[in-house]
Each structure stands twice: as structure tokens, then as C-alpha cells.
Amino acid sequence: MPRPCELGRASERPDMMPENKRPEGGADKLKVLLVGGGGREHALAWKIAQSPKLAKLYCAPGNAGIAKHAECVNVSSDDLDGLLKFAVDNKIDLTVVGPELPLVAGIYDKFHARGLKVFGPSAKMAMLEGSKSFSKDVMNRFGVPTAAYEVFTHAKEAMHYAVETEMPVVIKADGLAAGKGVVMCDTSEQAVAALSGIMEKKVFGAAGDKVVIEQKLEGEELSILVLTDGETILPLASARDHKRAYEHDRGPNTGGMGAYSPSAQFDEASIGTIIDKTVRPIIDGLRKEGTPYRGVLYAGLMMTKDGPYVLEYNCRFGDPETEVILPRLKTDLLPVMMEIAGGKLRHRSLQWHEKSCITVVMASGGYPGACQKGFPIRGLPAAEAVPDVVVFHAGTAFNEKKEVVTAGGRVLAVTALGDSLRAACETAYQAIHQIHFEGGFFRRDIGRRAIEVLK
């Protein structure tokens, strides 16, 4: 069976920002545990490994790409007891949590009880992502613009509402569904079929025990991510991802098939105004209620003719947004995370490269459905040799021959910087055409609509 990762040094290669040599340990150096094993975590590992404040980076469980930057640990990201034991035994100074599942399961609370610092929110605050109905109720409580909605726990009642209400609607499984629990419905027939699948056939498991049915909004989508200690807000660069599996936004929703940053439609001033309407009310409201939100908060927005509306909140870095935001970040991320984990954010600004960034996801055949795994990936060195390119691994492992093989639905996120979005796009596709594995596919139109807007 393929192994998630092996210990290894970073190969010498011309990354867009070459990995710093790992500093020697010392009193002011930090031992960091990164939890997760996808493309987001590879981007985080790549960025954290550049910090002069780092003494040692571990990743549990990691993947074949993360192994270039961290020592991978054979502990699953949902094994909270195993992660806690490792953190205690290895005197970890900071645990950075990538995926949403351990956050919703309470990794912050478990570690905090043992005096360990965690970058990420408590279990209660992670419910902003863990429960769509909880999130919508919080938005309403603090006056955040969001689509009108109803919540249902019984399939028949939900279906009756779907027949009677005005179309189109969006049906969302209430719980975590790996980014796939959202169905767009233009007709009542589609809505009833979706509800049957979610609530009766349990296509998303227990996540579909409860559903949210909401008005479908029209406009441009935008992703906003902020870092916060529960009071101070540091915006990250804007990004736009592409959820549908196939070109021209066709096919089923996925975890994301690509992204670009910055957003072509919004400047820094307008982003600040958007944050004041969609993020600040949540941060301020939760703090006043005595439950401050700390970590990174992701707001998925729809820019309608009436202004920004929140589609969803996530309690962690977005994927694949992280893969296009972090390559543009000049500021050392590790001290910022440590300050937030300690409850007091002293940084008041972040520095950014002016270049654009784009990432294109290479996925396994059948994604977002069932996928075969274990296919060797060819051409990685050639892709990584393209100037201003880094290839983030999302679903990879090593096989018995120590070959890098596919190990998930989303396999790679091929990322490039450029002086313009067009230049970054051309470079990313130049690199992606060097890579081959059986059944692999990718969208050929990531960022293309934004390029036309900029023209």
C-alpha cells in the first residue's frame, strides 16, 4: 500500500521562493506540529519551513510533497489522542491545524487543557463550519447579510417546502461533507431528488441528518480570509476559487479545481469595506458574548447587486485558496500564528508580493466521485523546474518503489506566480502539461474569465 510520506530532505530545485535551510534549534526557536495531509497543508508546510523562527517542523500525517519540508508522523489528523501524545512527548510549541474535522472534534480544547498552544478555534467556534444552520443563525444574530433560509430535520417536510417555495434554491447538508454537501437546484424536481439523496439515502452520511434550504444568490463569488485573535483582524489577500469539476463551471461541485489571487474585481479599499460588513460583525459579536474566535476565518461570499452576502464560513484556511495566497505573502507567518495562539495579535499589517498567483488542480479520474489510487506520477521534476512554479501535493504518497503515486481525488495543485494573472496562468499551464498520471484531468479555464475582465 502507498505510504503517506517518508522522511526526506528538500531536493535542490528552483522554487518560486526557495525553501530556507532549516535553522538550528535554540531557546527562541519553535517546534511546530502541522496537522493534515493535503494541498493546503503542503502550502502551509512550505511557508512555515521558510521561517527563521522554526527549529523543527512535523506533519501528521503529511504526504509525499510535505516530506520535503517536514518530518512526517504516522498519526491520522482525526486521532486527537495520538496527536496530543505526540505533541506532549515532543514538547511541541505550536500546533497548526489544517483540516476542519479535528477542529470541529475539539483539538483546540483537548490541547488547551494540557497547556499546549493551538492555531485554530475552539470546538464551539468551529461550528461556524461544522453546522450550516448554526452558522446561519450566527449571521442573523449579528446582522450579516446572507440568503433567506429554512432548516429541516425531516425529509418529507423539506420536500414539501421545496415543492412550494420559489426556485432556484441551494440545498446544503448541515454537517461536514468535505466541501461536497451543496446542491444547486433550478426546479422543484431537482430539489426533491437532492433531498432524497441527502436525507434518505445519506449520500453525505450523518452530515445530511439536517439540511438548510436557502435562496440561490446571483453574482460574482469571492473568498475572503482573515487572521484574528478575536479582536484584531488581519486580512489575507483576496482569492477566487473554481468549484465545478469541468470547464465553463459545469459538472458537480468539488473541493475546488483551482484558484487565483488577487481577485480581479476588487481592490484593497473595497475588500476592507466587504470585511466590515461580513466578517467584523462576527468577530466583534462573538467576543462580546465571551466566546472569541481565534485563528483563520474564511468567508465565502457572493457579490450581488445589493452588496456582499455570506454563503458560508470556514474555520480554517481554504483549499485551494491557500495555495495562491501564501506564495504572495512576504511576512513570516509563524510568529503571527504564535501570537494568535497566545491570544494577543501584535502584528498590525502583512506584507504582500505584487505579483498574481494561480493554481490549477490535477485530479484523479472519477473525482469528485470514487477514484482509483496508486498510479505513478510522471514529470514532477520537469514541472518544478519551470521558473516561478511550485507544485503542492494534495493527494500523494510513496509506493514500495519510492515512487510518488496518486492517493486521493485531488492530487496536485500546480501553482505559479506572474507579473500579471495572464502570465501566471500561462506559466501554470506550461508546468501542468509536464505532469502525467493515469486518469488525471484538470480544468483548462482557471482564471480565464478574470483575464477577460482585466482586458
Within this chain, domains 30-123 and 154-209 share the same CATH topology = no
d(CA 416, CA 339): 30
Task: Name the pTM for this structure.
Answer: 0.91
Name the 3-class secondary structure at 4: coil
β-strands 30-36, 54-61 pairing: parallel
Question: Of 73, 42, 45, whose CA–CA distance to 60 is shortest?
Answer: 73
268-278 helix and 280-288 helix, angle to the nearest 10 degrees = 40
Give yes or no for a cis peptide into 121 (omega within 30° of 0): no
CB atoms within 10 A of CB 330: 9
Please write the tens of the pLDDT for every residue from 372-426: 999 999 999 999 999 999 999 999 999 999 999 999 999 999 999 999 999 999 9
d(CA 205, CA 152): 16
Classify domain 154-209 by CATH architecture: 2-Layer Sandwich (3.30)
Q: Residue 25: its pLDDT value, please?
A: 40
CB atoms within 10 A of CB 21: 10
Please write the tens of the pLDDT for every residue from 9-43: 333 333 444 333 444 444 589 999 999 999 999 99
Cell representation of residue 91: 514538547
**Domain ranges across the chain:** 30-123, 154-209
Q: Looking at residue 385, what DSSP letter applies?
A: T
Fold that domain 30-123 belongs to in CATH: Rossmann fold (3.40.50)
Q: Residue 114: its pLDDT value, please?
A: 97
d(CA 379, CA 437): 9
Query: Across residues 242-266, what is the average pLDDT?
Result: 89
Please write the tens of the pLDDT for every residue from 52-67: 999 999 999 999 999 9
Give yes or no for a cis peptide into 262 (omega within 30° of 0): yes
Does the pLDDT value for residue 219 go beyond 70?
Answer: yes
